[in-house]
Amino acid sequence: MAGVVVKGHFPRRRIVQIVVANVTRYLFRGAARNWLRNIGSTAPALSSMTLLLLLSGLVGMVGFALHNLEQAQAAQASLIHVYLRDGVPSTDVNALWDRLAKDPRVASVTYVTQAEALARAQRIPGLPQLAAASNGNPFPASLDVQVKSIDDAAAIDSLVRTDIAVDAQNPTSYDQGAYQRIQAVLFGLAVAGSAFLLLLGFVAVTVTMNSIRAAIHARRDEVTIMQLVGAPRWMVRGPFVVEGAITGALSGALAGLVTFGLAVAAMTAGAASFTQFAPGITVTVAAIASAIVFATGLGLGSGSSLISVRRHLES
């Protein structure tokens, strides 16, 4: 009798389901179980990584605020307030205005009345008290000159100092070298902050690598058996990488939450002066910083455990 070939329908979806279930079990569930079982040896790595990530988050936010501060300083330095003499005729003011407006190095010229100068001063911490202490309005009217390049600020300052419309005692707000000093300080802070972050990253990676190395050492028999029964490399290495990722993700989540909480608390406590001292730091920025801290934790945890696994598992 001739044989009959039956072409069965390959249950691909079922196969995929089984493969996914097996991968989930061997890679993720196994890693989570081992992570919980080894919580005693993982705890130091978890806590130190949380602390390091928290510091990184705070340093990062301070860095962001300093960057904004530097931007504000640059904008401020390229804006020269040309203080006008008391009782100066409007023709002299107009003549100076025209001269400045025609200068190719000048971006814009704005006339600021005494009342506007007072209103502006009242938004700056400390100055309202000064204004209140004096009789009348101590702030002069000015021409606010926005120069195109900060390098031209000195030349514009020299140009206007001797003008008849300008106050001879206190001609402009230009302070030669002030911006450069601020820049130098901020640059130093940026370098120190980056070095600090690098150091923290190195410590976090080392701590996680050691924790994974300890886990590999503790389970070396299990690893050997898995290898000997034919487990593919990803199945042997994967759970350790997932364990590192769990440590990193948890540390990142904790540090991110604390970073966010501290930033929001600081914003709430010092709402008035916060924007002056930490410009640009808002709730959204704090949330983004927390997300970056979480992602960094996840990346550092899985990356450092991958390095550790590659270094220690083959041997």
Partner 1 sequence: MRPILEFTAVTRAYGPRLALDDVNLVLEPGELTFLVGPSGAGKTTLLKLINREIRPTSGEIWVDGIAAHTLKASRVSQLRRHVGVVFQDFKLLPRLTAKENVALALQVGDLSISDDEASERAMDALEAVGLGERGASFPHELSGGQQQRVAVARAVVGQPRLLIADEPTGNLDLETSWQMMDLFADIATFGTAVLIATHNVEIVTRLQRRVMTLVQGRLVRDQPAGRTGRMAWLASS
- Residue 224 binds partner 1, judged by CB under 8 A: yes
**Residue 279 to residue 65: CA distance in whole angstroms:** 5
Residue 216 has φ and ψ, to the nearest 5°, of: -65, -45
Sheet (strand 106-112) strand order: 79-83, 142-147, 106-112
- Residue 23 binds partner 1, judged by CB under 8 A: yes
Q: Which amino acid is at 276?
A: Q
**Residue 301 to residue 201: CA distance in whole angstroms:** 11
Q: Which residue(s) pair with 166 in the sheet?
A: 84
As measured in angstroms, the least distance from the Cβ of 185 to partner 1 is 53
User: From the list 5, 132, 162, 221, which residue makes contact with partner 1 (rule: CB under 8 A)?
Assistant: 221
- Residue 257 binds partner 1, judged by CB under 8 A: no
Stretch that binds partner 1, among 16-24, 115-123, 171-179, 288-296 (CB under 8 A): 16-24
Q: What is the dihedral sign for C-alpha 299, 304, 310, 313?
A: negative
- Residue 18 binds partner 1, judged by CB under 8 A: yes
User: From the list 1, 135, 136, 314, which residue makes contact with partner 1 (rule: CB under 8 A)?
Assistant: 314
- Residue 8 binds partner 1, judged by CB under 8 A: no
User: Nearer to partner 1 by C-beta: 123 or 310?
Assistant: 310
Q: Which amino acid is at 161?
A: R
**Residue 76 to residue 124: CA distance in whole angstroms:** 14
- Residue 22 binds partner 1, judged by CB under 8 A: yes
- Residue 291 binds partner 1, judged by CB under 8 A: no
Binding mask 174-213 for partner 1 (x = CB under 8 A): ----------------------------------------
CA 204 to chain centre: 18
- Residue 235 binds partner 1, judged by CB under 8 A: yes
- How many residues form the binding site for partner 1 (CB under 8 A)? 21
What is the rounded radius of gyration, in angstroms, for the C-alpha atoms of the chain? 32
**Residue 258 to residue 98: CA distance in whole angstroms:** 55
- Residue 24 binds partner 1, judged by CB under 8 A: no
- Residue 32 binds partner 1, judged by CB under 8 A: no
- Residue 15 binds partner 1, judged by CB under 8 A: yes
**Residue 203 to residue 191: CA distance in whole angstroms:** 18
- Residue 222 binds partner 1, judged by CB under 8 A: yes
- Residue 40 binds partner 1, judged by CB under 8 A: no
- Residue 36 binds partner 1, judged by CB under 8 A: no
Distances (CA, A) of 24 to 95, 250, 314: 79, 19, 24
- Residue 39 binds partner 1, judged by CB under 8 A: no
- Residue 98 binds partner 1, judged by CB under 8 A: no
- Residue 86 binds partner 1, judged by CB under 8 A: no
User: From the list 40, 230, 271, 284, which residue makes contact with partner 1 (rule: CB under 8 A)?
Assistant: 230
**Residue 201 to residue 47: CA distance in whole angstroms:** 14
User: Nearer to partner 1 by C-beta: 23 or 295?
Assistant: 23
User: Nearer to partner 1 by C-beta: 71 or 224?
Assistant: 224
As measured in angstroms, the least distance from the Cβ of 303 to partner 1 is 20
Residues near partner 1, by CB under 8 A? 15, 18-19, 21-23, 26, 221-222, 224-233, 235, 314
